[in-house]
Amino acid sequence: MTSPAVPPTAAAPVSSPGKTLGIVGLVFAFLFPVLGLILSIVAKVQSRGAGVKNTPSTVGIVLSIIFIVGYILIIVVAFGSLFAGCAQYGPGIHHVNGITLTCS
């Protein structure tokens, strides 16, 4: 009599280091781009150390950089128009289109 064959045990799922952190970095890229950039870079380094590809961290890095540059441009344009208004009206307090502009 032969003994029944033992079915092979299921292998443990392969862990992908940095994958979860890459997804968190991707989400934070939209909310807080600087934090999203840091988390995505950490996830990328973890994945690279394990030799695993981590697409969410790559996308998080790219989007974080795009949003950071976009926010910087918005700030520059906003302050540029503020300074242009002060150059146009001169020093003092000015009311323009319902906005109070204080120039020194």
What would the DSSP string read from start to end of 73-88?
HHHHHHHHHHHHHHHH
What pLDDT digit, counting tens, does each position of 1-11 carry? 566 777 777 65
- Residue range 50-86, pLDDT digits in tens: 888 999 999 999 999 999 999 999 999 888 877 777 7
Residues of the domain holding 66: 19-78
> Quick check: is 103 in a domain?
no
Range of lowest pLDDT (2-16, 23-37, 41-55): 2-16
CB count in 10 Å sphere of residue 35: 14
Residue 92 belongs to some domain of the structure: no
What is the pLDDT at residue 100?
84
In a domain, residue 42? The reply is yes
Question: What is the C-alpha radius of gyration for the chain, rounded to an integer number of angstroms?
Answer: 26
| Domain-embedded: residue 85 | no
Q: Mean pLDDT for the chain?
A: 86
Residue 90 domain flag: no
Strands 99-103 and 92-96: antiparallel
In a domain, residue 28? The reply is yes
**Do the domain assignments include residue 53?**
yes
Q: Quick one: DSSP state of residue 103?
A: E
Is the residue at 94 inside a domain? Answer: no
Structurally, the chain folds into a number of domains equal to: 1
Task: Using pLDDT thresholds of 50, 70 and 90, give the confidence band for residue 14.
Answer: low
